[in-house]
Structure 1
Amino acid sequence: MGAATGFDPVVEHERTRAALRAAVPRLAGLLRDVPDGGAPSGLPGWAVRDVEAHLCAVYLAYCSAFTGEFDGWDDVLPPGDGPFVERITAVNAKAVGIFAEEARARPGAAVAERGEGFLRITEGLAPDTPVPTPWYGGSVVLTLAAATGLMLSETLVHGLDVARGARLPWRIGPDEARLVIGQAFPTMMPLALDVEKARRARVAFDVAVKGGPRLAVVVEDGAATVTRDAPPRAYDCRITAAPTAFLLIGFRRVPLWRAVARGGIRAGGRRPWLATRLTDLIASP
């Protein structure tokens, strides 16, 4: 894998905050420009306003981790700690219903207010500040760095969903994608692992994102670890990826075959055919 390059977590966290600070008003403007909130979005079964309602819920949830302003979790969270996809799907469905009217009444406004609120509330906090996220599981606590990366991913990817439905332009730049991959993926990939599919798996992936970061993804015995800039070791499959392509594959917005055909993904190593296993093992709601 080569020598570890290392990165400064404080600097990268601030870069992620800056990217989020730029993306939030861009998203709010896109939502205001949508001519018909009832039009289908890029997500099957969701209208554009459903995507906006989901974003309102996401932004409020992360703000509330610090302010406690939302106390309705008993009405939103499913009982117990079920499989990741089932849990997030259930939370998303209920959240869309709760925030649908606000999304209809104030297109873009609530998203802008809450996105800016998150940045204001977390100003000056260390990247390793704990952030409770009960929607991922009752005991799941992320770092602020991972939470900020996820906020950026929600903003960018759902912006794409809105733009696809409204036939409006939306760009996810490679630097933005790199920040999401570096800050959020090492935390979220193990959480999103399909445990049943991974129970008998034993495979190690070297994921080299062009321009960084580099992730060692090791799946064995129903668990996954994702290490950034890991020491050298033997890998079964090496994946070289353009950052935006890898981000969109991870969120199931672009099929793997299309990214391969366009040169965004290339597999190598001892067992290159295992590249397709990665998207099969890591679930996405």
Structure 2
Amino acid sequence: MGTVTTFDPVIEHEKTRAALAAAVPRLVRLLRDAPDPDAPSGVPVWSVGDVGAHLAAVYLAYCAVVSADESVEWDGILPPGDLPFVERVTAMNATSVALFAGEARARLGEFVAERGETFLRVTAGLAPDTPVTAPWYGEGATLTVAVVTGLMLSETLVHGLDIARGARLPWPIGPDEASLVIGQSMPTMMRLALDAEKARGVSLAFDLVVKGGPRLAVVVDGGAMTVTRDAPPRAYDCRITVAPTTFLLVSFRRTPTWKAVAWGRMRAGGRRPWLAARLGELVATP
């Protein structure tokens, strides 16, 4: 069945905070060094400047939900109605790019630096399980400060790569950083992003083994998904063993699965290894 690992949520949260604190100055330098904000980015529909604007909006949003000193008029930003997850996030992404246009884009680096410092200062000392509202995910939606910190790190790393690809600048993502994102935010976000239509009638259990990182039990049943760390031994349909940075980039569609397999950084095993591709199909992305 494999070894069950354990983790300390407080220690891992502090490591995530430290990783974010180190990543923010890197992102600020990248935003300042990108030579052409109109160049195509790693996101096909966005320019380098668009990705920077989206990141600034992300930093603004997360600061607004943890700091009483920040204010966002959500009524003019949030999409109307009860949209499915992907449609809601897609609408929010389009809105985020438009929030920072014209002259505001000349200060993206400064804005990200200021809001990054604010987020880390305001959340210092908060317990990892402190609830945080997340209105962009739906009315009454809440996350924990640990998940939010992991999401901030995720957005910084992945969209930093999108900018770097467009600017032709280096942007390494280390395995420790990727492991923290996977452990802190993905158990929650994979569940939220489940494609309910594709999950209807599906009953599958995946053993997701991240090399040097977290081990996740991903179970889809009854139209819902549970993602559990440190799950007790059980029978799985499929085991997926993957390098942490590879899983991060495959999950966000920045690296094709076939390439990860060809490079030897992802492999499937267990009783029904051919089911590995189903996991990516079941978790929707905007």
Range into which the TM-score falls when normalised by the shorter chain: over 0.9
Q: Greater CA deviation, 134-143 or 24-33?
A: 134-143
Query: What are the within-5 Å matches in structure 2 for residues 146-225 of structure 1?
Result: 146-225=147-226
How far apart in 2 are the matches of 1:265 and 1:103? 41
Give yes or no for the alignment of 1:90 onto 2:78.
no
1:221-279 alpha-carbon deviations (Å, 9 max, x no partner):
21100000100111000000000000101111111111001111000011101100001
Structure 2 match to 1:260 = 261
TM-score, normalized by length of structure 2?
A: 0.97
**Distance in 2 between residues matched to 1:270 and 1:81, nearest whole Å:** 39
Are 2:137 and 1:136 aligned?
Answer: yes
The 2-side partners of 1:2 and 1:231 are apart by 10
Mapped contact 2:134–2:141 kept (Cα < 8 A): yes
Alignment-derived partner of residue 31 in structure 1:
31
Does the CA-based 8 Å contact 1:205-1:216 persist in structure 2? yes
Query: How far apart, in 2, do the equivalents of 1:268 and 1:101 lie?
Result: 51
Structure 1: segments with no counterpart, 5+ residues: none
Q: Helix, strand or coil: the match of 1:108?
A: helix
Aligned to 2:125: 124
1:241 aligned partner: 242
What is the alpha-carbon distance in structure 2 between the residues aligned to residue 176 and residue 13 of structure 1?
Answer: 12
Q: Which amino acid aligns with 1:89?
A: T
Q: For residues 57 and 212 of structure 2, what CA distance do their matches in structure 1 show?
A: 33
Question: What residue is the counterpart of 1:2 in the other structure?
Answer: 2
* Partner SS for 2:100: helix
Give the distance between the partners of 1:19 and 1:102, measured in 2 at CA: 30
The Cα offsets for residues 17-59 of structure 1, whole Å up to 9 and x where unpaired, read as 0000000000100110001111111101101111011111111
> How far did 1:67 drift?
2.2
Residue 28 of structure 1 aligns with an amino acid whose one-letter code is: V
CA contact (8 A) 1:204 1:217 kept: yes
Structure 2 counterpart of 1:273: 274
Measured in 2, the distance between the counterparts of 1:282 and 1:85 equals: 10
Tell me, yes or no, if the aligned pair for 1:103 and 1:110 is still in contact at 8 Å: no
Shift in alpha-carbon separation, 1:102–1:95, aligned structure 2, 3 A: farther
In 2, distance between residues paired with 1:86 and 1:111?
A: 26
**Kindly, what percent of the aligned residue pairs are identical?**
72
In structure 2, the residue corresponding to 1:142 is in which secondary structure?
strand
CA distance in 2, matches of 1:21, 1:100: 26
8 Å Cα contact 2:61/2:72 also seen in 1: no
Letter in 2 for 1:5: T
Please state how far the C-alpha of 1:102 moved relative to its aligned partner. Answer: 5.7
| CA deviation after TM superposition for structure 1 residue 111, in Å | 1.0
Q: Tell me, yes or no, if structure 1 residue 18 matches structure 2 residue 14.
A: no
CA distance in 1, matches of 2:56, 2:102: 11
TM-score by length of 1: 0.98
Q: Which moved more, 1:273-282 or 1:108-117?
A: 108-117
- How do 1:43-122 residues align onto structure 2 when only pairs under 5 Å count? 43-68=43-68, 69-101=70-102, 103-122=104-123
Task: Provide the aligned length of Structure 1 versus Structure 2.
Answer: 285
Work out the CA distance in 2 between the residues paired with 1:279 and 1:130: 28
CA distance in 2 between partners of 1:263 and 1:218 (Å): 25
Q: Distance in 1 between matches of 2:22 and 2:7?
A: 22
> Shift in Å at residue 219 of structure 1?
0.6
CA–CA separation in structure 2 for the residues paired with 1:146 and 1:101: 32
Equivalent position of 2:40 in the other structure? 40
- Secondary structure at the residue paired with 2:135? coil
- 8 A Cα contact 2:56 2:108, kept in partner: no
**Residue by residue, what CA displacement relative to the aligned partner does 1:62-110 show, whole Å, maximum 9, x if unpaired?**
1100225233211111122211110000011012101223652214111
| Structure 1: distance between partners of 2:252 and 2:262 | 18
What letter corresponds to residue 78 of structure 2 in structure 1?
L
Q: Distance in 1 between matches of 2:183 and 2:67?
A: 27
Q: Is the 8 A contact 1:53 1:102 kept in 2?
A: no
- Provide the rounded CA distance (Å) in 1 between the counterparts of 2:274 and 2:104: 44
* Structure 2, unpaired ranges of 5+: none
